[in-house]
Amino acid sequence: MIKSQRSFFFTLLALLAVFLTACGSAPASSWPGMAADADGTHVYLASGSYVYNVQVKDGSEVTVNTPDSATPVPARFPLKADGGKSFNAAPALTSDGQILIGSGATSDHTFYSYDPLTTNVKWTIPTNNSPWMTGALVIKDAVYAPGGDGNLYAYSLTGQQRWVSSISKHSLWSAPVTDAAGKLIYLVTLDHQVVAVNPANGKPAWTVTLDTSILGSPAVAGDMLVVGTLSGKLYALDQATGSQKWVSTLDGEIWGTPGYDGSNVYIGTVVNKAGKFYAVNASNGQTVWSKDDDGSITAGPLVTNDQIIYGTELGKIQSVDKTGTPKWQATIENAHMYTPPLLAGNMVIVAPMNATFLLAAYDLNGAQKWTFVAK
């Protein structure tokens, strides 16, 4: 009897440990982030413990020679996972070849600049006690990094701090954007605000409070900013003043960054577990067309010259033309598409979650060209 009680106790303890550990994993888990270099030859994928450097031509991983290995090793950052780092934000690329990304782990809160050719760290932004949840913005010779502590950090590209501006009481989850001239930086916050910041000194030029949390970055659409909220409202704001030009109420929640083609704004929504994709007239906010989808659409679309491509939570990649007519579609088994598709050269790159590979590349007719599996 005593023995059975002891077995029972230890079984309970083991069960408790398994349940607690399984459900509260220490690293902050989220969908991957990615960015392509200016000439569209390399894609940098931030996924879990690494930032991968993948060649767009064939999906192979770039390698680097190290003193520790007789043969070249994958040029990942870091070269060896230490368990403390976790990367999920879209990396920022500078014109002088640096890759900038913050760690979203609960234990390592460092923002890194590294050289993709060697993976050596060039400089860091010191720990701010909060994970870096989103990507940074580079304008000319400065980087603007939104922190998990609600601050926007401005650094020179050599790692000198220029200013720190308090934006929100909450973690900043959306990457900042700027207008064509780089006059203002625009950020959105979970506490319902759109903030325009002067890049020279970090002082807010204007702040607008919307109805609900904003999760996607603003889209720059001509002289407007277009932002969607969790309540499904799509707002068009004047870039210079923040004044509202129009608001459109869509069905479902808006999670992503809208796309813009010069006349229409494109955005998908989350309607419980289904989704809806909209084309909205940028001049007046009227819906031009909409399409129901079986899967939720959390990520913003990719807008090319003649097609709009979006991913769904059911692993589908859908391409439509500007009238909403389907052009092609592809489905990745059991995968979820939460990361916006990316155009690198003439390839559409997607980063599915829960797939057997980390990246897939399609040509503009929807033919899969390669997949990337981390070895």
Angle at 301 between CA 286 and CA 319, to 5 degrees: 95
In terms of CB distance, is 4 or 323 closer to other proteins?
4
Alpha helices in 126-245 (DSSP H): none
Facing residues of 249 across strands?
233
240 binds other proteins (CB under 8 A): no
**How many C-beta atoms lie closer than 10 Å to residue 294's C-beta?**
11
**Helix, strand, coil % (nearest 5) of the chain?**
5, 40, 50
Distance CA 358, CA 111 (A): 23
Q: What are phi and psi of 242, to 5 degrees?
A: 85, 0
Distance CA 145, CA 125 (A): 9
**49: burial class by Cβ within 10 Å (0-12, 13-18, 19+)?**
buried
Q: Are 276 and 250 in contact (CB under 8 A)?
A: yes
Please state the closest distance from residue 24 (CB atom) to other proteins, in A: 4
DSSP label at 11? Answer: H
Which residue in this structure is represented by tokens 């603007």?
144
121 binds other proteins (CB under 8 A): no
Angle at 151 between CA 149 and CA 157, to 5 degrees: 115
171 binds other proteins (CB under 8 A): yes
Q: Are 87 and 46 in contact (CB under 8 A)?
A: yes
Stretch that binds other proteins, among 34-42, 59-67, 163-171, 361-369 (CB under 8 A): 163-171
* Residue of the chain from 270, 282, 303, 351 that contacts other proteins (CB under 8 A): 270
303 binds other proteins (CB under 8 A): no
In terms of CB distance, is 41 or 169 closer to other proteins?
169
* Residue of the chain from 185, 215, 254, 309 that contacts other proteins (CB under 8 A): 215
Q: Are 92 and 76 in contact (CB under 8 A)?
A: no
338 binds other proteins (CB under 8 A): yes
Please state the closest distance from residue 150 (CB atom) to other proteins, in A: 10
Q: For residues 55-114, which are near other proteins according to CB under 8 A? A: 88, 104, 106-107
Please state the closest distance from residue 178 (CB atom) to other proteins, in A: 22
Facing residues of 175 across strands?
none
Which residue in this structure is represented by tokens 């400065």?
142
5 binds other proteins (CB under 8 A): yes
In terms of CB distance, is 84 or 222 closer to other proteins?
84
In terms of CB distance, is 37 or 211 closer to other proteins?
211
Q: For residues 7-66, which are near other proteins according to CB under 8 A? A: 8-9, 12-13, 15-17, 19-21, 23-24, 26, 28-31
Element (H, E) at 5: helix 2-23
* Residue of the chain from 162, 192, 245, 291 that contacts other proteins (CB under 8 A): 192
Please state the closest distance from residue 1 (CB atom) to other proteins, in A: 6
Please state the closest distance from residue 88 (CB atom) to other proteins, in A: 8
Number of residues that bind other proteins (CB under 8 A): 51
Please state the closest distance from residue 30 (CB atom) to other proteins, in A: 4
CA dihedral 94, 346, 51, 175 (to 10 degrees): 60
* Residue of the chain from 3, 140, 203, 375 that contacts other proteins (CB under 8 A): 3
Residues that bind other proteins (CB under 8 A): 1-6, 8-9, 12-13, 15-17, 19-21, 23-24, 26, 28-31, 88, 104, 106-107, 129-131, 133, 169-171, 173, 190-192, 211-213, 215, 230-231, 253, 255, 270, 272-273, 298, 338
